[in-house]
Structure 1
Amino acid sequence: MGIFGHSQTWRVIVLAWGMVWFGPAAQLTAGTLISPGALDLIRKSAEPFGLFASKLSGGALREKWLGVERKLDDERVQLALCDGDRARCVSPAALQFLAIVDNARTREGRARLGEINRAINLAIRPMSDMAQYGQSDVWSSPLVTFATGAGDCEDYAIAKFAALRMAGVSADDLRIVVLRDTIRGEDHAVAMARLDDRWLTLDNRRMAMVEDADVRNYRPLFVIDDRGVMRYEDMPPPASVSRQESAPAMAVNFAAPTGLTPPSN
């Protein structure tokens, strides 16, 4: 018993040291100590509002965004040509858009984002799709919006998204987010830009840029970037934390939406 007891004791000690020093190499991953579900709750998403999102492989919203992306590609060529020879540019909309980008390029950080938010808010008149096109939920490319001088929330958001990219903001730091206005009972789109690991909203309803953590009375539904469209997922809080304590300022305990109502201006 003495020899066996000592042997067992040493095996326990060696195993304990092995877990400390060689845990990763011996496949002693965090998953063996923390369940995958708990890891999901501990880890924070890099998307706006800190929520996880899953990519959509189909649906009307994805097709709508793909159509916008094709138009953006065409307009980038037109803007590049006008930028190279502005004296011969025949598009007043392109020249107006480039002037906003020029002013933004002279600024840095938050001032650059604020310049584009302010300038595009002032350049476009709020007008519903029904009043402008006779149909709902029309997503226009920036030069179309600037040519008409009017648009609704997603038109502002798309124009800001494109202008920020041209002004030098990384694609990784740009999003368009579709939110549910819980007060008005309608959907609303905003551009969002990440600065110093914080997401700021560029909203046509206000000149001031609000950090995502300070947004009130909105429920995030979809997030869009160069990689496509993603739908936000509902992440429950840990059992030890109440829903009221853990929920961000906006409501996040939403059911997956079946469709979008026309966004407001």
Structure 2
Amino acid sequence: MGFFSHSHAWRAVILACGLTWIGPAADLAAGTLMSPGAAGLIRKSAEPFGLFASALSWGALREKWLDVERKLDDERVQLALCDGDRDRCASPAALQLLAIVDDGRAREGRARLGEINRAINLAIRPMSDLAQYGEVDVWSSPLVTFAHGAGDCEDYAIAKFVALRLAGISPDDLRIVIMRDTIRGEDHAVAAARLDGHWLMLDNRRMAMVEDGDVRNYRPMFVIDQYGAMRYDETPLLASATGQDVPPIAPNSAVQPGMTSPSNQ
């Protein structure tokens, strides 16, 4: 992938998000409620939420991410130079990101993931793309996000994905997950890391990491790994914190974030 290898391109999405709390941790303790057939899939798929996903080979998301990947290629070089000679590094953003990576490397296991999640949540101010760039669909690379000191949820997720990889987490154990917030009616992105066979969500909306099985009020839509972006083949509604189901979305109504109609998928 752009930042670490020459694998397939990622894709970008429109997402609206802010640094808020989802709710008390106690509300996240119950199991998930999935659509028919999902219980069987959870035993077969290694992706977050246990659902199968299919690669996206075309569309606006793919084209958007090709541009982002080129920027990540450039940043990979800059970070390597700064990591080799920090005294002569001319990028405060690179030094800030590398310092977070250093703190993560000094820890192991869950503590490493938690340190990077917390540090990036604190380093970036929540700000919409429209407020920051005057556009509604901008995915920023990590050094751009750190230089601005602000971003929205996909900017947090990308920065965490990159920082975790630099801190030594295997790319096989890293994802970016795009979900539909069924309460707010908007899309939301988080980084995900697998630890001891369990996927933890690293969310800009909360400091505590939550396992995928304990997420509430979201519908998983897309997942990104080292090879590219995929659409979940099934998009079950994760149980609400109140125990009441949100009305399901028809399978053919799922639209790639950033698109205006299913015909643009």
1:84 aligns with 2:84: yes
Q: Distance in 2 between matches of 1:211 and 1:121?
A: 18
Residue 130 of structure 1 is matched in structure 2 by 130
Question: CA, structure 1 residues 139+191, in 2 after alignment: closer, same or farther (shift >3 Å)?
Answer: same
Unaligned 5+ segments in structure 1 are 1-36, 237-246
Q: Given that residues 68 and 140 in structure 1 are in contact (C-alpha distance below 8 angstroms), is that contact kept between their aligned partners in structure 2?
A: yes
3-state SS of paired residue (1:224): strand
> Structure 1 length normalisation: TM-score?
0.76
Q: Cα 1:87–1:137, aligned 2, differ >3 Å: closer, same or farther?
A: same
Describe the superposition over 1:208-228 as per-residue Cα deviations: whole angstroms up to 9, x where unpaired: 000000000000000011101
Shift of 1:235: 7.6
Residues 1:174 and 2:177 are matched in the alignment:
no
User: Does the aligned pair in 1 maintain the 2:103–2:115 contact within 8 Å?
Assistant: yes
Query: Which of structures 1 and 2 has the larger relative contact order (alpha carbons within 8 angstroms, sep 6+)?
Result: 2
| Rounded Cα–Cα distance in structure 2 between residues aligned with 1:142 and 1:41 | 34
Q: Does 1:113 align with 2:103?
A: no
Q: Is the 8 A contact 2:42 2:51 kept in 1?
A: no
Counting only pairs closer than 5 Å after superposition, residues 7-26 of structure 1 correspond to structure 2 as: none
How many pairs were matched up? 216
What residue in structure 2 maps to residue 47 of structure 1? Answer: 47
Percent of pairs identical after alignment?
78
Considering fraction of residues, name the structure with more helix: 1
CA separation of 1:64/1:104 partners in 2, compared to 1, >3 Å: closer, same or farther? same
Alpha-carbon distance, 1:68 to partner: 2.0
The structure 2 residue matched to 1:249, chosen from 239, 242, 262, is 239
C-alpha deviation, 1:76, in angstroms:
1.0
TM-score scaled to structure 2, two decimals? 0.76
How far the C-alpha of 1:60 sits from its partner, in A, is: 1.1
Partner Cα separation in structure 2 for residue 86 and residue 225 of structure 1: 30
> For the residues of structure 2 that align with 1:84 and 1:129, how far apart are their CA atoms?
33
Q: Please name the residue that 1:67 is paired with.
A: 67
Matches within 5 A, 1:212-227: 212-227=212-227
The alpha-carbon deviation at position 41 of structure 1 amounts to 4.8
Q: Quote the offset at 1:65 in angstroms.
A: 2.3
TM-fit CA distance, 1:203:
0.3
Residues 133/106 of structure 1: CA separation in 2 closer, same or farther (3 Å cut): same
Q: Which residue of 249, 256, 260 maps to 1:259? A: 256
Alpha-carbon contact 2:42-2:49 (below 8 Å) kept: no
CA distance 1:252–1:189, shift in 2 (3 Å): farther
Segments of 5+ residues of structure 2 without an aligned counterpart are 1-36, 241-245, 260-265
Whole-angstrom CA distance in 1 between matches of 2:161 and 2:57: 22
Contact 1:234 1:252 in 2 (8 A): no
Question: What does residue 201 of structure 2 align with?
Answer: 201
Tell whether the 8 Å contact from 1:55 to 1:231 is kept in structure 2 after alignment. yes
- Runs of 4+ aligned residues of structure 1 deviating over 3 Å after TM superposition are 40-43, 247-254
Q: Which moved more, 1:147-156 or 1:69-78?
A: 69-78
CA drift of 1:94 comes to: 0.4
Query: Aligned partners of 2:196 and 2:257: how far apart in 1?
Result: 32
| 1:148–1:261 Cα change, 3 Å | same
Q: Rg bigger for which structure? A: 1
Helix, strand or coil for the counterpart of 1:131?
A: helix
1:180-226 CA-to-partner distances (Å, cap 9, x unmatched) read 00000000000000000100000000000000000000000000111
